Amino acid sequence: MKRNDGKEILVIHDLTKTFGDTVALDHVEFRLAAGEVHCLVGENGAGKSTLIKILSGAERPDKGTILVFGREYTHLTPEQSLELGIATIYQDVELVGSLTVADNIFLGREVRTKWGLVNYKAQNRRARELIESMNIDMPETALVESLSPAQQQSLQIVKALQINARIMIMDEPTSALGVEETKALLGVVRKLSAQNIGVIYISHYLEEIFEIGERVTVLKDGQVVDAGEVRSKDLGTITKSMIGREGSLFYNRDEVGTGEVVLRVRNLSRLGLFEKVSFDLHRGEILGFGGVVGGGRSALMNVIFGAVRRSGGDIFLNGRAAHFESPREAVAQGVAMIPEDRKGLGLFDLRSLLENIAIVKNEGSRLLLNHEAENRRVENLSERLGIVSAGSRQPVGFLSGGNQQKAILARWLLSNAQIFIFDEPTKGVDIGAKEKIYQFMVELVKAGKGILMVSSDVPELMCMSDRIAVMRNGKLVATVNSKTVTQQELLGYFLGINDRRGITNA
């Protein structure tokens, strides 16, 4: 890792922010040097998002000072933040899919001719220069909707460079990426550091800290509980600081005996996305689906759930042919899905926690709702899952990512689902919430449910799955026993290095 020049470009002192009775930030201290990658970690609700919002001008602190390039501020406005060169890149991509790469880079700051028209030729040329400066493989004339998730994240970085960003805040940039995509994006972060740009890097994937970080600050309950050079830390000490106890990269789940086949998929295809996929899911089993992003895993789950129509093949549920024309039909027959895009596909952001959980099961008659019973059920589930909120009436969009994910899980626990599809179940979720989700997945299989789990997190696949099905280029290329396969072997299947040994539907 390149050493920075030591010049501090951001100093946060005694920063405090409260929301009602909740203390989001409590006398926080933080420093960033030019060319440094300073990692910021903590559980969901630790205060990371509030700190980001204050730096971007979206929130105003109650107390404290922010020193940026030698100038002191009590707070920043969004305009000041941008003028100072502070750019925030969120895990949810903020781009216009119907526009080109170059158009997105210069959106609102278009290169124009002397007559006021957009100079597309000059704009494309400048976009190409910016892209090449970061060694990114991306055509400047391509539509954003045609790009991979990794390319879209890289584009957000290039867009920030166009406005001369000198401090870049990256919030969970690899949460939707696979192994190779993550490796490429971390290479881009190193390029930013080499250009003397200070990077505040936020990630729940703690291994990334040791790959690119120079310093790390740990937040817990709004307070800085640990800070220092990465080389003086290890995974155990950081995890203990975050959650107050020792943690492990691998979760040790209880073993559950599997039963008869509950879901049989044969030669399932969707034109252009995947073809002739066959597998069996047993009662009490977690069947993991691994592979690089774009291999067809999520598309396969969407077809099984009825969100996308199949081109061919068959699905058998409890021995009977199942033809789901919509998610409604899938739910009616006992199939539930926790989608990767929880905000876009799983939640009603502005509706209450209660409404989001209770939507699949109304208490009372067809004409009248039993609000008392509904409230009681939701409160019990919230307590059981450890959902942290200001009450069941709070809009679910204001909860942390981990609590939003648990809210979706609570919804399906109210249903009579026999098969649960988890697509990236712990994406953007901290260690404590992740463990809670794992525990309830195990409870589900102990109760005889079957689980299909898509995950780009290799340790998660290995510790939670009974078997792991590997998809590559739209095909199921191998199914391996999670207890006997090594991490290196599994990555070999992902990347096409290994052969087809171990393929089985048993």
pLDDT digits 0-9 by tens, 194-205: 999 999 999 877
| CA distances (Å), origin 107, targets 21, 101, 182, 206 | 40, 10, 26, 34
- Quote the pLDDT of residue 94: 80
pTM: 0.60
pLDDT of residue 494: 79
Q: What's the confidence (pLDDT) of residue 497?
A: 64
Strand 335-338 vs strand 286-290: parallel, antiparallel, or unpaired? unpaired
Beta strands in 84-222 (DSSP E): 86-89, 167-171, 198-202, 215-220
Weakly modelled stretches of the chain, pLDDT under 50 = 1-3, 247, 363-365, 367, 499-506
- Containing 490, the helix (H) or strand (E) segment is helix 487-495
**What pLDDT is attached to residue 420?**
94
- CB neighbour list of residue 497: distance below 8 Å, 6 or more residues apart: 491
365 phi and psi angles, rounded to 5 deg: -85, 180
Write down the domain spans for the chain: 8-243, 259-334+416-506, 351-415
The rounded distance, in Å, linking the Cα atoms of 484 and 206 is 25
436 to 46, 210, 245, 429, 461: CA distances (angstroms): 17, 25, 15, 10, 16
- Fold match flag (8-243 vs 259-334+416-506): yes
With the CA atoms of 325, 304, 292 and 411 taken in that order, what torsion angle do they form, in degrees rounded to the nearest 10? 100
Nearest to 469, CA basis, from 304, 329, 272: 304
Cβ 206 vs Cβ 56: under 8 Å:
no
Helix, strand or coil, per DSSP, at residue 416: coil
Residue 115, amino acid: W
List, as one string, the DSSP characters of 203-237.
-S-THHHHHH-SEEEEEETTEEEEEEEGGG--HHH
Residue of 290, 295, 253, 299 lying closest to 445 (CA atoms): 253
pLDDT at residue 363 in the model: 46
% of the chain exceeding 70 in pLDDT: 89
Class of domain 259-334+416-506: alpha beta
Q: What is the pLDDT of residue 68?
A: 96
Which of 3.30.160.270, 1.10.10.60, 3.40.50.300, 3.20.10.10 would CATH assign to domain 8-243?
A: 3.40.50.300
| pLDDT for residue 499 | 47
Segment holding 388, helix H or strand E: none
Strands 450-454 and 419-423: parallel
